[in-house]
């Protein structure tokens, strides 16, 4: 570095310091503690009421994550296990927590008996997801008895709910650590505190709206990877707990996302999925005009064969995005577009902010621009007071759109959401019967769509060997169909051509025709 460069760097550094100082002064004058950087721990309990508020405050992006010196190496010769429940966002968070624990010296293990830390990364979307976790805590009690030194933590969406935290305190007091979705970057401090504290360590911030960049990360695989593009949700669908557990919508700046995707392309990743609770709202909170379509248009130029995104909201799905997706290349012919219900009246009570007609118009627009696109969806049956006619409207919509797959759910009451206060006159057996009918229809449509592939040659990104037979390889087509086929193990991690010989309801069987990678 020459004298001039050194001078420039000093100026840059002092500029940064000055900005930092100003920010800290502003924060303290605002009576806000800059807890992002505090090294100590103060107990904080969750509040869904607080989490509901959406202020006007700007999103701050923090690039300065570090593990304090006294905590580095705290995990040497120790092992961790993280059990992940729920959606891809949780999988993504698990990768970050694994990264942080690894930097603290811990090693990962799949054997609970040799783990020194077990974290349950939980999901709150439906009651059965929560029940699974409480069941698991029951099992872990005996493990904790056998190994009192085991540090047991609960994190993820459930820890953002005060009812859950109260239940853990009362019925599972052997849990050592509870922390929220906004506190992941505080894991080093929290683990240290939990190791030395006799009390349960509880840190759940309810109203955070910031972004922490540069967190370490241990990605699960080397073929497909997730890239978060935004956090939180402001849609407040009346049945959904996510806006409360994940905070306000905040977009990562395009540059940070593009850099991350470029780095993954350089590392040889073949597919990335852009993640967000409502990815179509991407960019709305940035200071300049920039949308998911603009971001996809940039990412399209990166040398990575497949780019997906999830999850979409029909309300914000715009023409710009459709135009970019229709350009093909690494933009794929598969759109997951949760509809939730086919009845305008139910959609209104769900506060989805679109009608059946508007959804169908959007599908038409997509079909015109992308004639080969596969559409899949999410549907809730048995929303409070859903009538038989309203359910029939969901059935006809499923047929009209021709969804090739759907995640279908019975409505689950979530305390703290507006729908939890709605009267519900639909008995559970009626809800179950509706779900069964809907699933039969979806299965039929999936089977029909699969049958069309017989005799076709498709590009498959090979992910590994099949679970039941290690002679058989398994992977996904661009339209997200599972394909099982015979082929050499060297094909793993490649995109290869497979001739489909047989179709089933949810998968295809075939034979590899060549090993040449297709982009
Ligand atoms: N009950 C049932 N299903 C729900 N989902 C979200 N909240 C609930 C709930 N309270 C479903 C929606 C969403 C998917 C991720 O989970 O269909 O798209
Ligand atoms: Fe929940 Fe609706 Fe936000 Fe999706 S868009 S996370 S369903 S509130």
Output 20 or 185, whichever has higher pLDDT. Answer: 185
The residues, ordered by sequence, that sit 6+ positions from 124 with a Cβ below 8 Å of its Cβ are 86, 130, 156, 157, 158, 160, 161, 164, 241, 245, 414
The b-or-e profile of 209-239 (16+ CB within 10 A means b, else e) is: bbbbeebbbebeeebbbbbbbbbbbebebbb
Residue 155, marked binder? no
Q: Which of 85, 89, 125, 280 to mutate to test the pocket of ligand 1 (most atoms within 8 A of CB)?
A: 125
Residue 240, marked binder? yes
pLDDT at residue 102 is higher than 50? yes
Average pLDDT, the chain: 91
Lowest mean pLDDT among 26-30, 312-316, 408-412, 435-439: 26-30
Instruction: Read off the pLDDT band of 207 (50, 70, 90).
Output: confident
The residues, ordered by sequence, that sit 6+ positions from 447 with a Cβ below 8 Å of its Cβ are 503, 504, 505
- The tens digit of pLDDT for each residue in 448-477 reads 999 999 999 999 999 999 888 888 999 999
Cα separation, 16 vs 198, whole angstroms: 40
Task: Tell me the CATH number of domain 215-451, given options 3.40.50.2300, 3.80.30.20, 3.40.50.970, 1.10.3720.10.
Answer: 3.80.30.20
Cα dist from 240 to 26, 237, 351, whole Å: 35, 6, 10
Q: Which of 239, 379, 406 to mutate to test the pocket of ligand 1 (most atoms within 8 A of CB)?
A: 239
What is the CATH code of the structural domain delimited by 457-512? Answer: 2.40.50.140
pLDDT at residue 169 is higher than 50? yes
Cα separation, 325 vs 374, whole angstroms: 13
Kindly report the protein residue whose alpha carbon is nearest to atom 2 of ligand 1: 411
pLDDT at residue 256 is higher than 50? yes
Per the DSSP assignment, residues forming a β-bridge with 498 are: 458, 512
Q: Which of 323, 433, 461, 448 is CA-nearest to residue 398?
A: 448
Kindly report the protein residue whose alpha carbon is nearest to atom 1 of ligand 2: 240
276 Cα–ligand 1 center, Å = 15
Strands 271-275 and 201-203: unpaired
The residues, ordered by sequence, that sit 6+ positions from 39 with a Cβ below 8 Å of its Cβ are 68, 189
- The tens digit of pLDDT for each residue in 343-358 reads 999 999 999 999 999 9
Angle at CA of residue 255, ends 254 and 260, nearest 5°: 100
Give the pLDDT confidence score for residue 32 in this predicted structure. Answer: 38
Domain boundaries, given as residue ranges, for the chain: 1-32, 41-203, 215-451, 457-512
Average pLDDT on 131-154 reads 96
Average pLDDT on 181-207 reads 94
Q: Which atom of ligand 2 is nearest to the CA of 378?
A: 7
Residue 87, marked binder? yes
What is the CATH code of the structural domain delimited by 41-203? Answer: 3.40.50.12160
pLDDT at residue 181 is higher than 90? yes
Residue 233, marked binder? yes
237 Cα–ligand 2 center, Å = 6
Average pLDDT on 103-124 reads 97
Strands 472-476 and 482-486: antiparallel
- The tens digit of pLDDT for each residue in 224-237 reads 999 999 999 999 99
435 Cα–ligand 1 center, Å = 14
Cα separation, 133 vs 121, whole angstroms: 9
Give the pLDDT confidence score for residue 516 in this predicted structure. Answer: 52
Give the pLDDT confidence score for residue 36 in this predicted structure. Answer: 59
Instruction: Name the 3-class secondary structure at 102.
Output: helix
Q: Is the CB of 330 under 6 A from ligand 1?
A: no
Instruction: Give the DSSP letter of residue 445.
Output: H
In 326-456, alpha helices (H) = 344-349, 356-369, 388-401, 428-451
Residue 460: Cβ-neighbour burial (10 angstroms; 0-12, 13-18, 19+): buried
Average pLDDT on 136-145 reads 95
Cα separation, 15 vs 9, whole angstroms: 10
Average pLDDT on 260-289 reads 96
Cα separation, 93 vs 7, whole angstroms: 39
Examine domains 41-203 and 457-512 and report if their fold is the same: no
Q: Which atom of ligand 1 is nearest to the CA of 241?
A: 7
Q: Which residues line ligand 2 (CB under 6 A)?
A: 233, 235-237, 240, 242-243, 277-278, 313
CA 243 to mean position of chain CA atoms? 13
Give the pLDDT confidence score for residue 362 in this predicted structure. Answer: 98
Give the pLDDT confidence score for residue 7 in this predicted structure. Answer: 42
Average pLDDT on 431-447 reads 98
240 Cα–ligand 2 center, Å = 6
pLDDT at residue 114 is higher than 80? yes
235 Cα–ligand 2 center, Å = 6
User: Token digits for 290?
Assistant: 């920039």
């Amino acid at each position: 570095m020459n004298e001039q460069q050194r001078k420039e760097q000093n100026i840059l550094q002092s500029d940064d310091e000055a900005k930092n100082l100003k920010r800290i002064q502003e924060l303290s004058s605002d009576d806000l503690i800059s807890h992002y950087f505090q090294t100590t721990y103060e107990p904080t309990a969750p509040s869904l009421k607080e989490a509901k508020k959406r202020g006007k405050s700007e999103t701050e992006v923090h690039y300065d994550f570090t593990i304090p010196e006294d905590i580095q190496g705290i995990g040497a010769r120790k092992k961790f296990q993280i059990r992940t429940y729920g959606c891809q966002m949780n999988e993504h968070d698990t990768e970050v927590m694994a990264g942080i624990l690894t930097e603290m010296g811990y090693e990962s293990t799949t054997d609970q008996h040799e783990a020194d830390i077990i974290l349950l990364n939980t999901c709150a979307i439906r009651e059965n997801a929560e029940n699974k976790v409480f069941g698991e805590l029951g099992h872990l009690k005996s493990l904790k008895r056998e190994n009192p030194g085991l540090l047991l933590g609960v994190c993820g969406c459930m820890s953002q709910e005060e009812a859950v935290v109260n239940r853990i305190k009362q019925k599972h007091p052997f849990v050592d650590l509870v922390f929220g979705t906004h506190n992941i970057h505080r894991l080093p401090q929290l683990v240290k505190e939990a190791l030395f504290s006799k009390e349960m360590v509880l840190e759940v911030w309810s109203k955070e709206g910031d972004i922490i960049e540069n967190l370490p990360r241990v990605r699960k695989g080397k073929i497909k990877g997730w890239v978060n593009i935004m956090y939180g949700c402001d849609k407040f669908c009346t049945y959904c707990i996510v806006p409360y557990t994940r905070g306000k919508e905040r977009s990562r700046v395009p540059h940070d996302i593009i850099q991350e995707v470029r780095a993954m392309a350089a590392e040889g990743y073949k597919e990335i999925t852009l993640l967000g609770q409502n990815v179509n709202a991407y960019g709305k909170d940035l200071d300049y005009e920039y949308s998911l379509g603009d971001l996809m248009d940039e990412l399209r130029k990166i040398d990575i064969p497949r780019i997906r995104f999830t999850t979409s909201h029909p309300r914000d799905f715009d023409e710009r995005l459709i135009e970019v997706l229709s350009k093909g290349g690494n933009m794929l012919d598969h759109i997951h577009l949760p509809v939730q219900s086919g009845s305008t009246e139910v959609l209104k009570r769900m506060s989805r902010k679109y009608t059946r007609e508007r959804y169908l118009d959007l599908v038409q627009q997509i079909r015109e621009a992308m004639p080969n696109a596969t559409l899949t969806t999410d549907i809730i049956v048995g929303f409070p007071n859903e009538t038989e006619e309203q359910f029939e409207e969901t059935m006809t919509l499923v047929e009209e759109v021709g969804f090739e797959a759907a995640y279908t759910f019975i409505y689950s009451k979530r305390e703290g959401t507006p729908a939890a206060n709605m009267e519900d006159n639909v008995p559970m057996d009626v809800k179950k019967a509706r779900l069964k009918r809907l699933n039969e229809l979806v299965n039929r449509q999936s089977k029909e769509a699969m049958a069309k592939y017989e005799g076709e040659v498709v590009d498959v990104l090979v992910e590994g060997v099949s679970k039941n037979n290690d002679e058989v390889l398994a992977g996904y087509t661009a339209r997200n169909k599972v394909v099982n086929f015979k082929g050499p193990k060297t094909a793993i991690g490649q995109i290869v051509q497979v001739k489909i010989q047989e179709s089933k309801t949810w998968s295809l069987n075939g034979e590899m025709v060549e090993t040449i990678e297709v982009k």
